[in-house]
Amino acid sequence: MRITVMTAGEQIISLDVDSNETVENVKALLEVESNVPIQQQQLLYNGNEMGNSDKLSALGVKDDDLLMMMVSTNSSSGGAAPAAGSDLGMNPDGSALNPAAFQQHVRGDSNLMGQLFQTDPELAQVISGSDLNKLQDLLRARHRQRSVLQRQKEEELALLYADPFDVEAQKKIEAAIRQKGIDENWEAALEHNPEGFARVIMLYVDMEVNGVPLKAFVDSGAQSTIISKSCAERCGLLRLMDQRYKGIAHGVGQSEILGRIHVAPIKIGNNFYPCSFVVLDSPNMEFLFGLDMLRKHQCTIDLKENVMTVGGGEVSVPFLQEKDIPSRFLDEERVLNEASGSGATVPSGFTEKKNNTVANSTSQQPKRQNTSEGPEFEAKIAKLVELGFSREAVVQALRLFEGNEEQAAGFLFGG
């Protein structure tokens, strides 16, 4: 059942507990949540103090009932004090005064450990382990998270009592309402569409170009099939490049078209097919199988079977799994940095400009903001790292929500 505990400082704590739980175990959970040592807690139900050995059901506590927690400087509070005494207290930063004693006390209570594994498995696993530094770090992180949530609640309460004729207050209320709608939409997406938050691995297949094995990026949004200068040289095709077809490739950024290779053999499966290439001076992409060759060779992208068929079905090749794709192709940050720093194009959705004529791409992807640069982004990272999250997790969350600090924090807390 769920009970609500209101502290003397008007902090509201919700707990999921068993109806047969003892008051002492409830106090142990409250110690983690509020940093108030067990021996200083006094729990009141309907105005009556609750003894440590009493069970919630025996006291008549029911689902959704409200308890009051008073803080006493006296070490005895309605029952026998824990054996570890003051060693079970908490520091102002949320860490334990004596982490070994705290760990031993929680471990020694099977009911409390069972409750923790249900309500907070991460904390339960750390307590079950042997790394006291990790336990202290987690307790501090939880304390910081609670402080942030408490501050948000206080700000929301302040808005409720704000002057209704205050324009700035009304703007904040409007922003809070809008953010609440966004958060509800995000929570619904986590429940009904969790795969939407996962990274999408692009489509790659194994091919051979002029006898050289390559991982080909299949992109129906690119107008032409592309090969980089270095890859063309490795495949022995650079000598066939026609420089009369120089130009500019436009897409996410732009890149110089060095020329065109009019025909060369590619091997897909066990069959050979003629293919033409646009040669780009692009350091972040080797070979892209574009819409021109997809149409020419009647290719089908079958996402249900996770294969690409060629020649109307005469050849079928599977799309590569993430483990089979070179890590340099998956390093999005490096690709974006190179693209923005060198003016190179990200291949998907590019258009080719030659002799003042622009051929529009069938499908052009929107330009993405490179949020990995700039002092403002670093400041957001530092702020969220202070809440106890790793830098890598913070960067991923900020990118996922395009730099929105509040949504990234909500995602990290929810994870």
Identify whether the C-beta of residue 16 lies closer than 8 Å to the C-beta of residue 76. Answer: no
Residues paired with 242 in a beta bridge: 260
358: number of Cβ within 10 Å: 12
**What stretch of H or E contains 156?**
helix 132-160
Residues paired with 289 in a beta bridge: 218
User: Alpha-carbon distance 360 to 279, whole Å?
Assistant: 18
User: Alpha-carbon distance 27 to 42, whole Å?
Assistant: 9
Identify whether the C-beta of residue 53 lies closer than 8 Å to the C-beta of residue 23. Answer: yes
Encoded tokens for 60: 């008549």
User: Alpha-carbon distance 242 to 260, whole Å?
Assistant: 5
Mind giving me the DSSP string for 109-137? Answer: -HHHHHHHHHH-HHHHHHHHSS-HHHHHH
219 is catalytic: yes
Single out the catalytic residue among 63, 87, 219, 292.
219
Q: SS3 of 350, please?
A: strand
User: Alpha-carbon distance 163 to 171, whole Å?
Assistant: 12
**CA gyration radius, the chain:** 30
CA-to-CA dists, residue 382 to 65, 146, 232, 379, 412, angstroms: 40, 18, 43, 5, 14
Give catalytic residue positions: 219
